[in-house]
């Protein structure tokens, strides 16, 4: 899942990004309101975390702009202690939750997970399955034929994407935009390597093989036997 963080304070922004990436999310970080709104309008995010006091456009304006562009994603605001009265304003604008600075990262992560469960994705199952492969989205666990498979955060995200869009050939550009952040260098073979590693873990030694390369097109996950 992909999260947009808009935070101008460098240390807080880096800390948020690092923590969320370690928790398995793909994160784009914008350092001011204009860049944040641009990403929010054009990117495909599952959630946004917006600081209120931002240069160029404040957090409220970023939220209003994203809603105006039809973006329905859940939004968590980061607000200073003396701006608590702003909550009313934010609620009117369609914010979903607040966290008062300074906060513990564990608290932020708990709020993020709650919002994601409540959001549009919550209507989907918490487990994704194909053949004997099962992916548990909440526990972030994967099993095949009942055997636990250990995946890195990127491999998990890649498998989740392939499973959500099973049967569809996913071009590398789409995979890059969903799984890697905006600094991804498309000249590298990072995706091939990630797919190869994922396959080695979840297809080697099992039948049927679920991930297929479609030459010149991309990758598809499907159960040929089904």
For position 99 contacting Ca ion by CB under 5 A, the verdict is: no
Strand partners, 48: 4, 75
Contact 114, 92 (CB under 8 A): no
Task: State in angstroms the smallest separation of the CB of 69 from Ca ion.
Answer: 23
Nearest to 7 by CA among 40, 53, 60: 53
List the beta strands (DSSP E) in the chain. 2-6, 26-30, 47-51, 75-79, 97-100, 127-130, 133-136, 141-144, 147-149, 211-214, 218-221
- Which residue's CB is nearer to Ca ion, number 8 or number 41? 8
Q: Output 10 or 208, the one with its CB closest to Ca ion.
A: 10
Select the residue interacting with Ca ion from 28, 35, 46, 51 (CB under 5 A). 51
Quote the least distance from Cβ 16 to Ca ion, whole Å. Answer: 12
- Which one, 21 or 53, has the nearer CB to Ca ion? 53
CB 17 within 8 A of CB 5: yes
Are 50 and 71 in contact by the 8 Å Cβ rule? The answer is no
Residues 131-160 that bind Ca ion (CB under 5 A): none
- What is the dihedral angle through the alpha carbons of 44, 46, 48, 49, rounded to the nearest 10 degrees? -140
Which of 21, 34, 53, 174 binds Ca ion (CB under 5 A)? It is 53
Shortest distance (Å) from residue 77 CB to Ca ion: 11
> What backbone phi and psi angles, to 5 degrees, belong to 196?
-60, -45
- For position 8 contacting Ca ion by CB under 5 A, the verdict is yes
64 touches Ca ion by CB under 5 A: no
Of the pair 19, 171, the CB lying nearest Ca ion is at 19
Q: Is 174 in the site for Ca ion (CB under 5 A)?
A: no
Gap between the Cα atoms of 192 and 188, Å rounded: 9
Give the range of 51-59, 65-73, 136-144, 198-206 binding Ca ion by CB under 5 A.
51-59
Smallest gap from Cβ 201 to Ca ion, in A, equals 41
CB of 57 to Ca ion, least distance (A): 12
34: contact with Ca ion by CB under 5 A:
no
Please choose, from the candidates 195, 212, 204, the residue with its C-alpha nearest in 3D space to the C-alpha of residue 154.
195
Nearest approach in angstroms of CB 95 to Ca ion is 16
- What is the binding site for Ca ion (CB under 5 A)? 8, 51, 53
């Amino acid at each position: 899942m992909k999260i947009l963080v808009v935070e101008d304070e460098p240390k807080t922004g880096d800390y948020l990004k690092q923590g969320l990436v370690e928790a398995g999310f793909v994160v784009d970080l914008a350092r001011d309101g204009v860049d944040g709104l641009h990403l929010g309008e054009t990117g495909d995010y599952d959630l946004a975390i917006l600081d209120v006091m931002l240069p160029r456009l404040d957090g409220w304006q970023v939220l209003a702009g994203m809603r105006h562009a039809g973006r329905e994603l859940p939004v968590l605001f980061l607000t200073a202690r003396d701006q608590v009265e702003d909550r009313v304003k934010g609620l009117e604008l369609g914010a979903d939750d607040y966290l008062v600075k300074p906060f513990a990262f564990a608290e932020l992560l708990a709020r993020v997970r709650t919002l994601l469960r409540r959001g549009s994705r919550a209507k989907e199952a918490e487990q994704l399955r194909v053949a004997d492969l099962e992916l548990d989205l909440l526990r972030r666990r994967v099993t095949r034929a009942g055997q636990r498979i250990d995946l890195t955060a990127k491999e998990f995200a890649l498998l989740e994407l392939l499973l959500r869009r099973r049967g569809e050939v996913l071009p590398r550009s789409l995979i890059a935009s969903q799984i890697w952040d905006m600094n991804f260098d498309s000249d590298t073979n990072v995706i091939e390597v990630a797919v190869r590693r994922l396959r080695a873990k979840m297809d080697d030694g099992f039948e049927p093989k679920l991930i297929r390369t479609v030459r010149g097109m991309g990758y598809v996950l499907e159960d040929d036997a089904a």
